[in-house]
Amino acid sequence: MVSTHPLGVQHVGGQYLPQNRSTNANLSPNQEMLPLTAKVNGNDCLEIGGCDVTTLVQQFGSPLYILDETTLRLACQQYRDAFQKYYPGASQVLYASKAWNCLAICAIAASEGLGIDVASGGELYTALQAGVSPEKIYLHNNNKSRAELILAIESGCTIVVDNWYELKTLVEIVEEREKSHPTRIMLRLTPGIECHTHEYIRTGQLDSKFGFDPNQLEELFTFISKQSALNCVGLHAHIGSQIFERQPHRDLAVVMVQWFKQATQHGLQLTELNVGGGLGIRYVESDDPPSITEWVKAICEVIQETCASENLPLPKLLAEPGRSLIATACVTAYTIGSSKVIPGIRTYVAVDGGMSDNPRPITYQSVYRSVVANRISAPITQTVTIAGKHCESGDILIKNAQLPEIKPGDILVVMGTGAYNYSMASNYNRLARPAAVVVGNGEANLILRRETYEDLIQQDCLPERLKV
C-alpha cells in the first residue's frame, strides 16, 4: 500500500521514500527527514545529490557520511534570507561549527555568507585554514586556555567571554601585548530560561556552567567600561539545543534587549546581540520543529518590538544555529553484517559502525530512522534492533527499526546524522573514523578521508625500553 506521508516522504509499506520534490526551495530542511535531493532511482536504490548511495559505498566504503550540498546550502540561504527579510537592521548568521567542523563545511557555510562560531582553538584553527574571514569568527568556550585566547587575539576574531576568570586573564594578556586595536569581545550571559530538551543539552537555566550570572550585571558592566584594551561590542546567550517550543526564544529576545539597555545605561556602546542557536530538527515523524523562517521571524519581531518599546536603536542581530543547518543534509550509510534472532524477544541486526560514529543514541537516548537503501520499495516485514559493532551492550543505534527482509551486505541508511555525529565521533575499540563525502549534481567528493590503521597508531609512542 502506498500512502503519502505528511512529512515530505511517501510511506511504501513502511520504507521512507522522498516525494516529488519539485518545491525544494519551499521546504525547510530542519522539518524534513531526508536530504532534499533524495530520490529513488531506476534500480530501486536511494539516490542523494544525484549519486546512488550503494555506488558511493562501493567507491568509498562504509560506514560513510554522505552530505548533500544542496540541503546544506538551502538551510544557510533560508537563515540568511529570513534575517534580511524580517530584520531591518544589520544581521549575521554564524554556523555553530561544533555540530560538524571541518574545512569543507566551514568553506560551504562561508561561501553562503555565514560566519562561524567556534568552540575551541582547534575549531578556530580549522575555520581559519578554510579561509573564513576572522571578522566573521566568534570564539566560545567556558574555559579557554591562554593559548586559545592568544590565537583568537592574533587572528582578529571576536571572543565571547564566558566568566570572570577569563575576563581577567584576557585583560592581563591584552595589557601585556599592547595591541594597536582593542580586542573585540562579547559577553555571554546565562539567561535563566528553561526549555524542554535533554538535560545535558540545556544551557540556559541559571544553574549552568556557561556564562556570567545575570545578577552580576552591574559589576560586570562597570568593570568592562573601564577596560580600554577591550572593545565590548555586545551580548550573547544560548538557551539549549533541539528546541521545538517557540516561546523560550521569544523570552530570550526580550531579556537580551533589557540587558542591552542596562549596558547602555552604564555607558557601554554595544552594537551586537547574539541570540545563540537551538532550533530543533525532525529526527522522527512526531518531531515538530518550527521552520527556519518561522524561527528567525519570531526572533526578529520580538527584538524589534522590544527595542521600540525601550526606545533603543536596533542592534546588529546574530544567531548561531548548528543542528538545524546541517543535521538533515547528511545520512550515514552502513553495511549490514550479522543478525541474531532471539525467538520471542528480539532480532539484532548489526552494522559496521555504531557508537563511535554516532554517539547520540547512547549519550542522549536519541532516536533515528533508517531505510534499506538498496531495496527501497521492499515491504516492511519486521521490527529489529540495529546494533553497532562495539564491545558494549548499550551500543544500539536504533531500537524498533521497521525494516524489510534484509541480508548481509544490504546498505542501511540512517537519516539526520549531520549534526553532532562526526564531531563527536571517537576511535572506541580502535575503529577507524569513517570517510565523509559531499554530493551534488551526480558528483561525490571526499571531505574527510577514512582513517587507516596507520592513522590509529600515529599518536602512539612506544618507548625503547618497553619494546618486546
Catalytic residues: 391
Question: Closest separation between CB of residue 140 and ligand LLP, Å?
Answer: 5
User: For residue 428, with 0-12 CB atoms within 10 Å meaning exposed, 13-18 middle and 19 or more buried, which class applies?
Assistant: middle
Question: Closest separation between CB of residue 420 and ligand LLP, Å?
Answer: 3
Bridge partners of residue 291, in order along the sequence:
none
CA–chain centroid gap for 156, Å, is: 24
- Residue linked to cell 542522549: 364
User: For residue 42, with 0-12 CB atoms within 10 Å meaning exposed, 13-18 middle and 19 or more buried, which class applies?
Assistant: exposed
Near ligand LLP in 410-429, by CB under 6 A: 419-420
Beta strands, E only, 240-327 = 272-274, 316-319
Q: Determine, following the binding rule CB under 6 A, whether residue 324 of this chain makes contact with ligand LLP.
A: yes
Q: Determine, following the binding rule CB under 6 A, whether residue 132 of this chain makes contact with ligand LLP.
A: no
Q: Determine, following the binding rule CB under 6 A, whether residue 323 of this chain makes contact with ligand LLP.
A: yes
- CB-CB contact of 235 with 187 (8 Å): yes
Question: Closest separation between CB of residue 426 and ligand LLP, Å?
Answer: 13
CA 101, CA 103: separation in Å to the nearest integer? 7
Site string for ligand LLP, 278-307 (x = CB under 6 A): xx----------------------------
Grid cell, residue 131, equals 579561509
- Pick one of 151, 201, 229, 254: the residue that binds ligand LLP (CB under 6 A): 201
438 closest CA partner among 22, 124, 107, 126: 107
Question: How many chain residues are in contact with ligand LLP, going by CB under 6 A?
Answer: 23
- Pick one of 30, 37, 91, 241: the residue that binds ligand LLP (CB under 6 A): 241
Of 58-66, 163-171, 237-245, 258-266, the segment contacting ligand LLP by CB under 6 A is 237-245
Cis geometry, peptide bond prior to residue 29 (ω within 30 degrees of 0): no
- Pick one of 53, 67, 96, 403: the residue that binds ligand LLP (CB under 6 A): 96
Amino acid at 230: L
Near ligand LLP in 347-386, by CB under 6 A: 360, 364
- CB-CB contact of 274 with 239 (8 Å): no
Of 30-38, 130-138, 300-308, 318-326, the segment contacting ligand LLP by CB under 6 A is 318-326
Site for ligand LLP, rule CB under 6 A? 96, 98-99, 117, 140, 201, 203, 238, 241-242, 276-279, 320-324, 360, 364, 419-420
